[in-house]
Amino acid sequence: MAETPNPQDLGALLKQLVSNDYIPAPIKDQWWIITSESTILSCHSKAAIDWQMNQYDLLELRTIRTLAGHKYSIEQVILMNMIKMEYAARLNRSLNGFEREAQISNKSSETVLQGPSPNAGGTGFFSSVTKLITGGQ
């Protein structure tokens, strides 16, 4: 039989799912919008995600324009591509509220629904007849 998960363990799991600990601190500081929990936990439509990716592209172009020519290197291009891929992945997790729905589903799985207790008497016709014949026993 499968073991029932501890609610504290599920809370830790959900926090880990929205965690951004793997992203280097300098990127989190400068590009904080891509690491925001609200990005994942929002309910975005495909059109909203497309708009946000367009805004990212504009932000990337503006960032590139502020760099001195010698600082715009292949390493910078790779970094910008990785940031874009991470942002796209996080936005796609929010498509139609997927991440929030997944979290609600996980929380719901903690609830165990039980049927009536074995001692509870029925309320149907045959239960009434049985009670009448047995004297309510």
Q: Is the pTM of this model over 0.75?
A: no
Residue-level pLDDT, tens digit, the chain, 137 residues: 445 545 455 556 556 666 677 788 888 888 888 778 778 778 889 999 999 999 999 999 998 899 888 888 898 899 999 999 988 988 888 887 766 665 555 555 555 444 445 555 566 666 766 776 676 66
Identify whether 137 is part of a domain: no
Structural domain boundaries, residue 59: 22-109
Residue 95's SS3 state is strand
Hey, how many other C-beta atoms are within 10 angstroms of the C-beta on 60? 15
Instruction: Report whether 23 contacts 86 (CB < 8 A).
Output: yes
Domain count for the chain:
1
